[in-house]
Amino acid sequence: MSKFTTIVLTAAVCLPLGAFAKDAMLKGHPNLQKARTSLNDAQRYIEASQKANEKVWADEGGHGQKAKEAIEKAKSELDAAAEWVNGHVK
């Protein structure tokens, strides 16, 4: 199995599990929860676009992957914001 396949399979298993833990962190932060939902939607649409265009455009010139990486970074920043707020509640 290639390194890429291993990474993809690991992500496919771990990301949904991690999403449940992250959702608990965002509890009580409705705007951050809505932002996470929007990011999840965006990621699904990008993946659907990549799948639909697979035979014509291959990997969309790498831009689809870069967009998904930016979404993951944004999710990480949402988590950091929730952690910060949770740690500074009076």
Instruction: Give tens-digit pLDDT for 3-16.
Output: 767 666 666 666 66
Residues 46, 52, 53, 54, CA torsion sign: positive
Query: In sequence order, what DSSP letters do the residues of 61-88 get, joined into one string?
Result: GGHHHHHHHHHHHHHHHHHHHHHHHHHT
- Cβ(75)–Cβ(22) below 8 Å: yes
Q: How many domains does the chain have?
A: 1
| Full domain range(s) for residue 78 | 3-87
Looking up tokens 């831009």, which residue turns up? 63
The rounded distance, in Å, linking the Cα atoms of 7 and 10 is 5
Give tens-digit pLDDT for 33-64. Answer: 999 999 999 999 988 888 887 666 656 778 88
